[in-house]
């Protein structure tokens, strides 16, 4: 089976450091967590970094930091994995789902301007499939309304807009290190911010509410949480971060190989602006009108090639449909017509392209 993605990390790369952790017995809050935190801060050019257990816990923590709760509205890009909206619902606030741009698949400034009000407590922009195109224009709108911008960069480690990395643009940025992502730590995530006050809140709250020690004991000045990334996971993160630049270049090269073959067949790519580097987290195309997306996925699976949909229109999922009943045509259409193809270091694109040719010819 040709898989969608293979984590770019081998046993040999981590073996010695894993052994070191087992020898020392320090499985959490040790030197590898410190190093991964430091390396991420340097790589992203973000002043503060906090590692978490996932993008979901990162997003949830950011909403708690902004004191989001009942009576508040959070504006959320509709076209995303439902973790993006779930964290808003979990805190009792209203999720206002917004439609996306049909080319970039990202939150539209016009949609945002229509829905932003004095009830808006935060905006969540999603770098769909790793593409931050339009993030700065959303940020400008949020700044002018003085509404904090949270970037759901679950897919966007290594991407940038206007020369700034995702993680150094929005007020708060949340990453995922799940195995479907480019940096895989098993499960894992991170929050970045340049705001010193927020960083201080995060430092205490993410340590169970303890602000250092007094008389040899933890000093609990707040209630708090434990969303810590373990040492073994941090080792995996460090190793992949070292080669992330090369991974992003390779994924873009693979995208170019697919484009050459698939655009003449009528597959339409995601638009990435010229001032943007996308990490090509997911290599996604809109299928040609004559092709049935689900049939294509099935035919390729029968030929040993793993593909999947793009992502979800959250407003069309049962919970959100019954609760909010909104109709967002672009996200709905994208959810029905996008396909994700395999993309990883060392992939031989030829057999995948041949299988796509065969499947598309069969569907004529
Ligand atoms: C856009 C987006 N946000 C959030 C998440 C949740 O990430 P995690 O599994 O790290 O909680 C995902 C996972 O696929 C995602 O794609």
Ligand 1, atom nearest to 187 Cα: 10
DSSP-derived 3-state class of residue 184: coil
* Mean pLDDT score, 123-127: 98
Q: With 90 as the cut, is the pLDDT of residue 364 above it?
A: no
pLDDT at 134 (0 to 100) = 98
pLDDT at 306 (0 to 100) = 97
Residue in 83, 131, 166 to alter for ligand 1 test, most ligand atoms within 8 A of Cβ: 83
Residue in 77, 97, 100, 155 to alter for ligand 1 test, most ligand atoms within 8 A of Cβ: 155
Ligand 1, atom nearest to 126 Cα: 1
pLDDT at 361 (0 to 100) = 82
Ligand 1, atom nearest to 54 Cα: 10
Query: Regarding beta strands 308-309 and 210-214, do their DSSP bridges make them parallel or antiparallel, or are they unpaired?
Result: unpaired
By alpha-carbon position, which residue is closest to atom 14 of ligand 1? Answer: 81
Total-model pTM: 0.98
Q: Residue 52 and residue 343: Cα distance in Å, rounded?
A: 26
Q: Residue 237: which of 281, 279, 183, 187 has the closest Cα?
A: 183
Instruction: Please state, as a whole number, how many other Cβ atoms lie within 10 Å of the Cβ of residue 114.
Output: 12
State the DSSP string of 92-152: TPEEEEE-B-TTT-SB-HHHHHHH--TTEEEEEEE-GGG--TTHHHHHHHHHHHT--EEEE
Ligand 1, atom nearest to 176 Cα: 10
Q: Residue 177: which of 191, 187, 167 has the closest Cα?
A: 187
Ligand 1, atom nearest to 188 Cα: 10
Residue in 52, 55, 131, 166 to alter for ligand 1 test, most ligand atoms within 8 A of Cβ: 55
By alpha-carbon position, which residue is closest to atom 7 of ligand 1? Answer: 55
CATH topology of domain 244-362: 3.90.1150
* 101 phi and psi angles, rounded to 5 deg: -75, 135
What are the residue boundaries of the structural domains of the chain, listed by start?
Answer: 11-242, 244-362
Structure tokens at 194: 């340049």
Report the separation in Å between the CA atom of 154 and the middle of ligand 1, taken as the mean of its atom positions: 5
pLDDT, tens digit, 9 for 90 and up, residues 277-325: 999 999 999 999 999 999 999 999 999 999 999 999 999 999 999 999 9
Say yes or no: do domains 11-242 and 244-362 share a fold.
Answer: no
Handedness of CA 251, 256, 262, 266 (dihedral sign): positive
Q: Which residues does ligand 1 sit against, CB inside 6 Å?
A: 54-56, 80-81, 83-84, 126, 152, 154-155, 176, 178, 189
Q: Is the CATH code 3.10.28.10 the one for domain 11-242? A: no
pLDDT, tens digit, 9 for 90 and up, residues 319-341: 999 999 999 999 999 999 999 99
């Amino acid at each position: 089976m040709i898989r969608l993605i293979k984590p770019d990390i081998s046993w040999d790369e981590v073996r010695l450091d894993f052994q070191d952790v087992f020898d020392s017995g320090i499985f959490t809050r040790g030197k590898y967590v410190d190093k991964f935190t430091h390396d991420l801060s340097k790589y992203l050019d973000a002043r503060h970094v906090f590692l978490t257990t996932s993008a979901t816990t990162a997003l949830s923590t950011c909403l708690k930091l902004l004191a989001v709760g009942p009576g508040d509205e959070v504006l959320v890009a509709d076209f995303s994995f439902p973790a993006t909206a779930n964290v808003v619902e979990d805190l009792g606030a209203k999720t206002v789902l917004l439609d996306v741009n049909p080319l970039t698949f990202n939150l539209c400034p016009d949609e945002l301007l229509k829905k932003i009000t004095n009830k808006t407590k935060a905006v969540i922009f999603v770098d769909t499939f790793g593409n931050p195109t339009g993030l700065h224009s959303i940020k400008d709108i949020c700044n002018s309304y003085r509404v904090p911008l949270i970037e759901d960069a679950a897919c966007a480690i290594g991407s940038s807009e206007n020369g700034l990395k995702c993680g150094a643009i929005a007020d708060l940025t949340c990453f995922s290190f799940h195995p479907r992502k480019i940096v895989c730590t098993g499960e894992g995530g991170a929050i970045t911010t340049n705001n010193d006050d927020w960083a201080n809140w995060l430092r205490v709250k993410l340590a169970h509410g303890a602000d250092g020690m007094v008389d040899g004991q933890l000093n609990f000045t707040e209630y708090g949480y434990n969303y810590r990334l373990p040492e073994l996971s941090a080792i995996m993160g460090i190793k992949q971060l070292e080669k992330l630049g090369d991974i992003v270049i390779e994924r873009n090269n693979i995208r170019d190989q697919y484009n050459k073959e698939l655009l003449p067949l009528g597959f339409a790519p995601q638009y990435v602006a010229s001032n943007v580097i996308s990490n090509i987290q997911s290599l996604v195309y809109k299928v040609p009108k004559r092709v049935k997306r689900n049939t294509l996925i099935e035919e390729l699976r029968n030929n040993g090639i793993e593909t999947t949909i793009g992502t979800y229109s959250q407003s069309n999922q049962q919970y959100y449909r019954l609760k909010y009943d909104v109709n967002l045509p672009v996200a709905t259409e994208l959810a029905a017509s996008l396909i994700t193809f395999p993309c990883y270091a060392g992939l031989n694109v030829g057999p995948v392209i041949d299988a796509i040719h065969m499947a598309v010819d069969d569907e004529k």
